[in-house]
C-alpha cells in the first residue's frame, strides 16, 4: 500500500494559482496570511555519524527494503516511522517529522536512500532523496534560503550541485528561488521574532515553472511540488526557540503517479 499525501482541505494541484482577489483578514491576499505547515525534518536510528561529530552527513544507502510503517502522527511529537533493512543495517529507522504528508514508498519494496544533513548550522538544513529503478521518486528539503538572483545564481542553500538541487531523472536541474516579497509581516515585533513574512517560492525545471506559497501544491511536468513552508523568518537573539526555527524553506518534489 502506498501511503497517501494528507494535506489541508482545498489544496491540490489547482492550488498552484491563488484565486485573484482572495483577501485575508487584514486586507492582504490569502497567500500572505496562510501559516506554514511546518518543516521537513527526519531523524535516523542508528545515527549516521558519531554523536559528538560536527561533520556534515552525506550518506547514500542502497538496497534498503522497507519492512514496516508505524504512524505516530497523533502523538505530542507527531512522527511517522519507516523501518528499513539494508546491508550493514539490520534495522534502519527513519523518523519523519509529520507535517501533513507521508513518503511515497511501499512495504516490501527496495529503495536507495540519500541522507544530507548539516550539523554546523542551527537550525540544521537537511534533505532526503529516495530513488528506485526508474530514478528519483522523492526529494524532501528543509533549508535556509534558495537562490535569490535569477541572473547570477548564488549558492545560499546547503544542498546543491552548482546552483541547483540536482537533475530530476533527465528532466533537467531543479532550481528554486525566492520571489520579491510583496506581503506584509504575518508576525512582527513579538518576544521571539522580529518578523515572519510569507514569501513565494518559484520552482523551475526544464523550461517549466510553478510559483507556490505556504501549503500550496503544483506540477512541473511529471513532478508534483508541495511547499510546506516559504517564509522570511527573523528571530530575536535573546530567544532560543526563535533562533532554532529560522529555516524559511521546506518543500518536497515527487514523481507523479506514485500514490
Note whether 214 and 35 are within 8 A (CB): yes
More confident residue, 19 or 77: 77
Cα dist from 91 to 44, 86, 94, 97, 214, whole Å: 11, 7, 10, 19, 35
pLDDT, tens digit, 9 for 90 and up, residues 27-57: 789 999 999 999 999 999 999 888 777 788 8
pLDDT, tens digit, 9 for 90 and up, residues 199-239: 999 999 999 999 999 999 999 999 999 999 999 888 888 88
pTM of the entire predicted model: 0.85
**Residue 18 confidence (pLDDT) above 50:** no
Percentage of the chain beyond pLDDT 90 is 58
**What's residue 162's pLDDT?**
65
Task: Give the residue among 137, 136, 115 at the shortest CA–CA distance from 126.
Answer: 115
Three cell numbers, residue 235:
528571530
Confidence of residue 145 (pLDDT cuts 50, 70, 90): confident
More confident residue, 254 or 145: 254
Note whether 228 and 99 are within 8 A (CB): yes
Amino acid at each position: 500500500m502506498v501511503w497517501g499525501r494528507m494535506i489541508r482541505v482545498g489544496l491540490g494541484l489547482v492550488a498552484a494559482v491563488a484565486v485573484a482577489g482572495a483577501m485575508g483578514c487584514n486586507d492582504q491576499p490569502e497567500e500572505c496570511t496562510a501559516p506554514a505547515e511546518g518543516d521537513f525534518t527526519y531523524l535516523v536510528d542508528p545515527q549516521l555519524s558519531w554523536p559528538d561529530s560536527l561533520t556534515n552527513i552525506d550518506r547514500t544507502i542502497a538496497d534498503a527494503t522497507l519492512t514496516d510503517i508505524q504512524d505516530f502522527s497523533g502523538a505530542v511529537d507527531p512522527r511517522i516511522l519507516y523501518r528499513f533493512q539494508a546491508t550493514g543495517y539490520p534495522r534502519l529507522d527513519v523518523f519523519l517529522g509529520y507535517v501533513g504528508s507521508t513518503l511515497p514508498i511501499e512495504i516490501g519494496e527496495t529503495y536507495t536512500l540519500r541522507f544530507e544533513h548539516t550539523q554546523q548550522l542551527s537550525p540544521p538544513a537537511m534533505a532526503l532523496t529516495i530513488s528506485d529503478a526508474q530514478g528519483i521518486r522523492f526529494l524532501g528539503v528543509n533549508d535556509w534560503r534558495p537562490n535569490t538572483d535569477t541572473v547570477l545564481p548564488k549558492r545560499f542553500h546547503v544542498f546543491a550541485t552548482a546552483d541547483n538541487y540536482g537533475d530530476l531523472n533527465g528532466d533537467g536541474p531543479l532550481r528554486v528561488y525566492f520571489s520579491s516579497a510583496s506581503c506584509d509581516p504575518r508576525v512582527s515585533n513579538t518576544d521571539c521574532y522580529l518578523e515572519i513574512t510569507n514569501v513565494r517560492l518559484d520552482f523551475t525545471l526544464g523550461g517549466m515553472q510553478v510559483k507556490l506559497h505556504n501549503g500550496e501544491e503544483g506540477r512541473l511536468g511529471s513532478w508534483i511540488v508541495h511547499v510546506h513552508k516559504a517564509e522570511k523568518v527573523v528571530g530575536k537573539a535573546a530567544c532560543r526557540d526563535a533562533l532554532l526555527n529560522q529555516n524559511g524553506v521546506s518543500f518536497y518534489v515527487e514523481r507523479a503517479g506514485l500514490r
